[in-house]
Amino acid sequence: MYLLTGSTGTIGREVMKLLVDAGEEVTAVTRAPHAAKLPADVRVAGADPETLASALEGVTALLLAPRAVGDTAAELLRLAAERGVQRVVLLSAITVEYGGGYERFAAAFTSIEAAVAASGLAWTFLRCADFAANTLAWAPQIRATGTVRGAYGNAATASVHERDIAEVAVRALRDPAHAGRRYALTGPQPLTQHDKVRLIGEAIGRRLAFQEITHQQARQAMLAQGLPEDVPDRMLGYLSTCADQPGPATDTVERVLGRPALPYAEWAIDHADAFCGS
Ligand SMILES: NC(=O)c1ccc[n+]([C@@H]2O[C@H](COP(=O)([O-])OP(=O)(O)OC[C@H]3O[C@@H](n4cnc5c(N)ncnc54)[C@H](OP(=O)(O)O)[C@@H]3O)[C@@H](O)[C@H]2O)c1
């Protein structure tokens, strides 16, 4: 049995699908068990500590999503160790290793890595680059106007496809050989935001534009769009660093999976539907 926190998130859903397809038993943790629309063959558990404590019985490995577990991480790890869980795979961030963005965000990931390392469980850290899926935030603007208004258009990051992270996560959840590894997961090459908007345009057969606005304007627009309070600072802080120095690109996905990391162009094709229509 594998227990997935963040099961309704970008990575959690992919990991769940891969495990179910492989015939594994999965418990999906969500704050809203009745609204989560999870596959029928998945066991669903609420996120409250009591439910989690019993859901951890018989679990071999745990996927830990920091945003989803919030400040309950230490308690969850303690319960997991007590219940005999063997492994934990942590969705961490590449900024722990390479820096970039506001220090407080990297520090929070460093701190959860330390809690995982101290838990007594075998662990694997997936230090992820910015998810390609973060650019789904552009979808409403692209559908409505064909123009993305954003800051730091020349900032280049090697955004990573959620399928690559999920495939590595599944390997680490199932195979103890990945214990003690810190995997820096990125896409194949840094691309600017101009490049990414162009590639979405190619995927949907429409000419798109990127219009440069200030950091403050971009921040306000993201908040007005309903993104959580911390997200503009996370994203804009990292982009401001990568406007001066492109974000890292590693070959870790290829080393772990035996095939190259998926390019952003492929991610754009996979998600073309989100950018079409009005
Ligand atoms: N986005 C990036 O570029 C990036 C880069 C590096 C690392 N990460 C890490 O990767 C992890 C996985 O990201 P993800 O996008 O797949 O999913 P996520 O942000 O972890 O969210 C997954 C689920 O967590 C639950 N949740 C519980 N408390 C929440 C809260 N306060 N705010 C938002 N969601 C909350 C929600 O599910 P329910 O409503 O069903 O409970 C949500 O669907 C994150 O935890 C993040 O720390 C992200």
Name the residue with the closest Cα to ligand 1, atom 25: 68
- pLDDT attached to residue 6: 96
Q: What is the pLDDT of residues 171-212, one digit of tens each?
A: 999 999 999 999 999 999 999 999 999 999 999 999 999 999
Alpha-carbon distance of 128 to 183, in angstroms, equals 8
259 lines ligand 1 (CB under 6 A): no
Third-level CATH fold of 2-131+160-185:
Rossmann fold (3.40.50)
Task: Please say whether the beta carbons of 186 and 250 come within 8 A.
Answer: yes
Report whether residue 72 contacts ligand 1, using a CB cutoff of 6 Å. no
- Would the pLDDT of 244 be above 90? yes
Q: Rounded to an integer, what distance in angstroms lies between the CA atom of residue 3 and that of residue 101?
A: 31
184 CB near ligand 1 (under 6 Å): no
Among 67, 91, 92, 125, the mutation site with the greatest number of ligand 1 atoms within 8 A of its Cβ is 67
42-76 pLDDT tens trace = 999 999 888 999 999 999 999 999 999 998 999 99
Decide: 230 in ligand 1 pocket, CB within 6 A: no
Query: Which two structure tokens, joined as six digits, stand for 255?
Result: 């080393």
Contact 126 CB / ligand 1 (< 6 Å):
no
CB-ligand 1 contact for 68 (6 Å cutoff): yes
**What pLDDT, on a 0 to 100 scale, did the predictor assign at position 81?**
96
Coil, strand or helix at 81: helix
Q: Is 159 in the pocket of ligand 1 (CB under 6 A)?
A: no
> Residue 38 in contact with residue 28, Cβ under 8 Å?
yes
- Centre of ligand 1 from the C-alpha of residue 255, in Å: 26
Question: 25-38, pLDDT tens digit by residue?
Answer: 999 999 998 888 89
> Structural domain boundaries of the chain?
2-131+160-185, 132-158+188-248+263-275
Q: Give yes or no for residue 29 CB within 6 A of ligand 1.
A: no
1 Cα–ligand 1 center, Å: 21
**Rounded distance, CA 210 to CA 138, Å?**
10
CATH superfamily, region 132-158+188-248+263-275: UDP-galactose 4-epimerase, domain 1 (3.90.25.10)
DSSP 22-47: TT--EEEEES-TTTS---TTSEEEES
